[in-house]
Amino acid sequence: MRCIPTDAAGITLGVDTHKDFHVAVALDGLGRRLGTLSIPTARSGYEKLAEWANGFGPLQSVGIEGTGSFGAGLTRFLRAEGTRVFEVDRPRRRDQYRSGKSDPIDAELAARAVLAGTATAQPKDTDGEVEMIRTLRITRRSAVKARAQAVNQLKNLLITAPEGLRSELRGLSTAKLVAKVSGFRPGANPSDVQAATKFALRSVARRHQRLSEEISELDEQLDRLVAEAAPELVALEGVGTDTAASLLIGAGDNPERLKNEAAFAHLCGGAPIPASLGKSSVRHRLNPHGNRDANRALYVIALCRMRRDERTRTYVAKRTAEGKTKKEIIRCLKRYIAREVYRILASLSLNKPSILAP
């Protein structure tokens, strides 16, 4: 650790985050490097970092790489202390070629991005209802994936099962197959192939049942939390619990960090990007970036409205008559839906305190 006394006001920190430790670099207001510190990812380490930085002068701002993953704990701590925190992207390859690659170098690049004003994104809050929804939804997704794997394994076991067992179970739907197989009684110690196959089928079927119960419990909690967090959002045409959860998670617990509805549309990958070059006419292309899950939610809402909403169907007919393709119409609808959703999210942030507030 290298320390240089300074009288320059305003200290800027850059932090390169990892699972078990973080590396921080401090810069003064003139961009001079003041020191480097490595801390453990625990509250004692965060307190040590704050004390170390304040030793140079008043801590002005911090740039953190990975505020939503390894840097989530440090971000929460610093924001609770009233420090301005900015989310910093990973260094570009051309910058790495020029300056090299190491933890202190990455931390310094993060600090310089904040000091130069190129890192302006505010991290999401992770202490409210949306964070609760995110954690439950991640667990539900893994349970759904495991249940699908159980169904595939159940059907694969039937392919090589003895003929008599295959004939008995052939043609059954998944629900009937699971119900029938879960009641098998092959005995505690299978003595032949058929008994062992029944034992395996029963084990997988009961796993499927347990996962179904887990998914139902998670669905119940998600329905409650989403309805409490954004009742106006769920009330929109074509918006259900899953799509509302995707949009809420994309915006975070502090959607006011998004400047306007155009910023939210870009976040969701629903804003077309200009793609005119040279003498070509003005055109736009699809935005492949942004939160892909939120983009999927906008797509699902657009499809639902195209089927059931009379106003949307009228709009689709009008744009089709103008020569627009179905894909182009869906892109337009996604942009309109993003605007509608943003207005609701922006209004929710006005009077919705953090769930941890007294």
Say whether 87 sits in a helix, a strand or coil: strand
Measured distance CA(200)–CA(198) in Å, rounded: 5
Name residues whose C-beta falls within 8 Å of residue 189's C-beta, 6 or more positions apart in sequence.
none
Which residues contact residue 264 at a Cβ distance below 8 angstroms, ignoring those fewer than 6 apart? 251, 255, 258, 338, 341, 342, 345
> Which residue, 357, 59, 348, 100, is CA-closest to 230?
348
3-state secondary structure of 66: coil
**Strand segments (E) across the chain:** 11-17, 21-27, 33-40, 59-65, 84-88, 273-274, 284-285
Where do the DSSP E strands lie in 126-259?
Answer: none
Kindly give the pairing relationship between strand 11-17 and strand 21-27. Answer: antiparallel
Among 188, 196, 191, 187, which Cα is nearest to 161's? Answer: 196
Count of Cβ atoms closer than 10 Å to residue 76 Cβ: 17
Judged by phi (left if over 0) then psi (alpha if -120 to 50, else beta), residue 214 lies in alpha
Amino acid present at 295: N
Exposure string for 118-150, b = 16+ CB within 10 A, e = fewer: ebeebbbbbbbbbbbbbebbebbeebeeebeeb
Residues 6+ apart with CB under 8 A from 205: 150, 154, 177, 178, 179, 181, 182
282-286 contacts: CB < 8 A, separation 24 or more?
286/331
What does each of the 358 residues of the chain score in pLDDT, given as a tens digit?
A: 444 444 456 899 999 999 999 999 999 988 899 999 999 999 999 999 999 999 999 999 999 988 888 999 999 999 988 899 999 987 666 655 566 678 899 899 999 999 988 888 888 887 889 999 999 999 999 999 999 999 999 999 999 899 988 988 888 999 999 999 999 888 888 888 989 999 999 999 999 999 999 999 999 999 999 999 999 999 999 999 999 999 999 988 888 888 889 889 998 988 877 776 666 666 777 777 888 999 999 999 999 999 999 999 999 999 999 998 998 899 899 999 999 999 999 887 533 444 443 2
Structure tokens at 313: 């169907």
